[in-house]
Chain A
């Protein structure tokens, strides 16, 4: 087991035994479910819409070279500087370079998981810049010096009391148990930062090839402020964010909101097509778009799992995942939590180090069912398991399965083994649940079924010979 796997197991054990935490997450997600179902119910045909979204993303990803080239040409034509980064380090260096060249000191950032992925804040801070996270949830986890807990809801693991205490300690505000007042405290702090910032950094939810625009979805208005007031705006965009046509957004924007957050449409859906244009009264003088590969092309090179690049990071798969709902977002140790994270992290950060996330699933398929772009998530987990075992099988499992295969291919041996079980079962009582129990992983928390005195095949044999005997007797 790798260190990452051990850490995951340790964290999972810790979080699953924290009933308060589990209750908090499950209550929060119950509310989401109710809203999501309500708004999904307004669609005339959700499954057709989902099918179309999947096809549009298929087109975008399977002709990525063409669409990306078009995006670059179009957005550059309006004075945007586009930088294509092969790795996270190249993206960081470029962004730090722009900051240095323009003597940037203070940076306002709106939520970007891609920036998390490449550790952008750390790099900028290292270069002497101050980075303020402006999204409320991100602001809270930044104050706590924590990683976001969830792709979309970064601070969903905290109660208002914890946040109030945090604000009191870090910002000197009066304690309060009102989410509204807490939000206003953050608003006041952030207002100053927007006005003073030299640079705004954002991610993007979509990149429209046909018109050369990025699209940012948000509820708070922090991204709009971060991209309106500072003189420089840098958007860090994964190459998979492409959609071919502007009108595709008419489908994706509502689906993203409904699937991910249980909203009919997110509050602000904004398209940025360049820096301030002639005749416009505000907006940044410089607009940089950094397109990031960072091993996305490795996922692209795997046709079996290429559809994982269709992901629009809505978070629906996390919300419905029973693993996520019990271990929470911090146990994963990845930028992208939940099912999508378990699928792509092995591609982005190494299969052998991260295969345990693919193993840690009951393969229930709730994620695949929830995904608005129809990514075959739980089957990809299965494929990751296969690839990992093929590449580097574990000796103990090899031996185990060799024995298993041998027995299962020889019905006589198999039958013998079923005879032995009832014999061994009483012996098992002696060690049940103790360190010596070979079935400890099960019996520590669960009872075992008692093997039947007569197996089904024995019963059937009896039944058949009785029948024959009867028929013979006649």
Chain B
């Protein structure tokens, strides 16, 4: 199966290991992985701030970048949501509406792609430690992904998954929200970190690096020991 990686800008820059791991897992499962060159950002920051013309300019670039891809697998549930759910709305009644509608069904979040399209649950990964899973809101509520990452993690040898009480509660990142309303964003993150602490897990796993940036930033500042890892990073361990 031919699969195009969509590595959003901040993953590219801060968490390249996530992309590397995704490519490894997908190749191990027999996919032919490519990385359409020239990809930058999905356009979410201006979109979420209300600047839709600017968002269209950036998103239009992504539409072109991925025009030839058959399947697009995103490293972030949030950026995947942008393409899958919001592009059709963003481009409604514009010339690119057709392309936006065409690309939407091709976009998959990583865990959902593995479980629902490739039909794998056990990717043969080994990882020792206790971990808790954070549901990124976009993945959870816009894409309906809840079961898939857990199925995958259940099959990782040596990994013990402990659910936290606030697994479905927003971590408080919310893109530009995190810097426009830092006090609220931080308070939300603290609720999350307290819930993580209760589980005594060594690792916090998520399918969204943006949430993990917020959570790790707070964990570090609060002196909590837990480490954040993207699901792909776990699945790549053999």
In the complex they form, whether A and B have CB atoms below 8 Å apart is answered with yes
Chain A positions within 8 Å of B, measured between CB atoms, are: 9, 12-13, 16-17, 22, 26, 322-323, 325-327, 359-366, 368-369, 382, 384-390, 393, 397-398, 401-402, 404-405, 407-409, 411, 414, 418, 421, 439, 441-442, 444-452, 454-460
With A322-B169, A362-B174, A408-B43 known, 7 other A-B pairs at CB within 8 A are: A9-B181, A365-B140, A385-B49, A401-B45, A449-B216, A459-B16, A459-B19
Asked whether A409 and B58 contact (CB < 8 A) given A368-B141, A446-B217, A447-B220, the answer is: yes
A194 to B221, CA, bound (A): 56
A17 to B14, CA, bound (A): 30
* Minimum Cβ distance to chain A for residue B198 (Å): 13
A297 to B235, CA, bound (A): 53
Q: Verify B221–A446 contact, CB threshold 8 A.
A: yes
Residue B88 CB within 8 A of the other chain: no
A448 to B7, CA, bound (A): 20
Q: Which listed residue (A12, A366, A390) contacts B181, Cβ 8 A?
A: A12
Which residues of chain A are near B54, meaning CB under 8 Å?
401-402, 404-405
User: Could you name 9 residue pairs across A and B whose Cβ atoms are closer than 8 Å?
Assistant: A13-B183, A323-B188, A364-B174, A408-B9, A411-B37, A442-B217, A450-B14, A451-B14, A456-B11
Residue B1 CB within 8 A of the other chain: no
Which residues of chain B are near A407, meaning CB under 8 Å?
40
Q: Verify A457–B141 contact, CB threshold 8 A.
A: no
Residue B142 CB within 8 A of the other chain: yes
A459 to B7, CA, bound (A): 12
Nearest residue (CB) in A for B43 is A408
Which residues of chain A are near B51, meaning CB under 8 Å?
389, 393, 397-398, 401
Asked whether A411 and B49 contact (CB < 8 A) given A362-B174, A452-B16, the answer is: no
Q: Verify A414–B40 contact, CB threshold 8 A.
A: yes
* Minimum Cβ distance to chain B for residue A138 (Å): 27
A399 to B45, CA, bound (A): 14
* Minimum Cβ distance to chain A for residue B175 (Å): 8
Which residues of chain B are near A452, meaning CB under 8 Å?
13-17
A365 to B213, CA, bound (A): 20
Residue B50 CB within 8 A of the other chain: yes
Which residues of chain B are near A360, meaning CB under 8 Å?
177, 180-181, 184
Which residues of chain B are near A409, meaning CB under 8 Å?
40, 57-58, 61
Asked whether A382 and B48 contact (CB < 8 A) given A452-B14, A457-B12, the answer is: yes
Nearest residue (CB) in B for A365 is B141
User: Which of chain B's residues 14-53 have a Cβ closer than 8 Å to chain A?
Assistant: 14-20, 23, 35, 37-41, 43, 45-52
* Minimum Cβ distance to chain A for residue B40 (Å): 4
Residue B149 CB within 8 A of the other chain: no
Residue B199 CB within 8 A of the other chain: no
* Minimum Cβ distance to chain A for residue B194 (Å): 10
Which residues of chain A are near B138, meaning CB under 8 Å?
365
Asked whether A397 and B16 contact (CB < 8 A) given A12-B183, A322-B169, the answer is: no
Q: How many A-B residue pairs have C-beta atoms within 8 angstroms? Tell me.
A: 188
Chain B positions within 8 Å of A, measured between CB atoms, are: 7, 9, 11-20, 23, 35, 37-41, 43, 45-52, 54, 57-58, 61, 137-138, 140-142, 168-170, 172-175, 177-189, 191, 213-214, 216-218, 220-221
Q: Verify A449–B217 contact, CB threshold 8 A.
A: yes
Which residues of chain B are near A366, meaning CB under 8 Å?
137, 141, 168-170
Which residues of chain B are near A401, meaning CB under 8 Å?
45-46, 49, 51, 54
Nearest residue (CB) in B for A412 is B38
Q: Verify A17–B16 contact, CB threshold 8 A.
A: no
* Minimum Cβ distance to chain B for residue A456 (Å): 4
Asked whether A446 and B186 contact (CB < 8 A) given A322-B172, A360-B180, A362-B174, the answer is: yes
* Minimum Cβ distance to chain A for residue B171 (Å): 8
Q: Verify B48–A385 contact, CB threshold 8 A.
A: yes
Which residues of chain A are near B168, meaning CB under 8 Å?
366
A329 to B51, CA, bound (A): 29
Q: Verify B14–A322 contact, CB threshold 8 A.
A: no
* Minimum Cβ distance to chain B for residue A437 (Å): 12
Asked whether A26 and B191 contact (CB < 8 A) given A369-B141, A411-B38, the answer is: yes
Which residues of chain B are near A448, meaning CB under 8 Å?
217
Q: Verify A446–B214 contact, CB threshold 8 A.
A: yes
Q: Verify A364–B179 contact, CB threshold 8 A.
A: no
Q: Verify A456–B221 contact, CB threshold 8 A.
A: no
A445 to B46, CA, bound (A): 24
A393 to B46, CA, bound (A): 12
A415 to B169, CA, bound (A): 34
* Minimum Cβ distance to chain A for residue B5 (Å): 8
A266 to B191, CA, bound (A): 31
Q: Verify A397–B49 contact, CB threshold 8 A.
A: yes
* Minimum Cβ distance to chain B for residue A442 (Å): 6
Asked whether A22 and B187 contact (CB < 8 A) given A365-B142, A455-B13, the answer is: yes
Which residues of chain A are near B213, meaning CB under 8 Å?
449
* Minimum Cβ distance to chain A for residue B49 (Å): 6
Q: Verify A442–B182 contact, CB threshold 8 A.
A: yes
* Minimum Cβ distance to chain B for residue A403 (Å): 10
Q: Verify A364–B14 contact, CB threshold 8 A.
A: no
Nearest residue (CB) in B for A417 is B13
Nearest residue (CB) in A for B169 is A322
* Minimum Cβ distance to chain B for residue A25 (Å): 11
Q: Verify A457–B50 contact, CB threshold 8 A.
A: no
Q: Verify A16–B49 contact, CB threshold 8 A.
A: no
Q: Verify A389–B50 contact, CB threshold 8 A.
A: yes
Q: Tell which of A12, A16, A458 has the most Cβ of chain B within 10 Å.
A: A16
Q: Verify B49–A362 contact, CB threshold 8 A.
A: no
Which residues of chain B are near A387, meaning CB under 8 Å?
50
Which residues of chain B are near A386, meaning CB under 8 Å?
50, 52
Q: Verify A359–B177 contact, CB threshold 8 A.
A: yes
Nearest residue (CB) in A for B184 is A12
Closest 10 A/B residue pairs (Cβ) = A362-B174, A389-B50, A446-B217, A385-B50, A364-B170, A456-B16, A364-B137, A365-B141, A456-B19, A16-B187
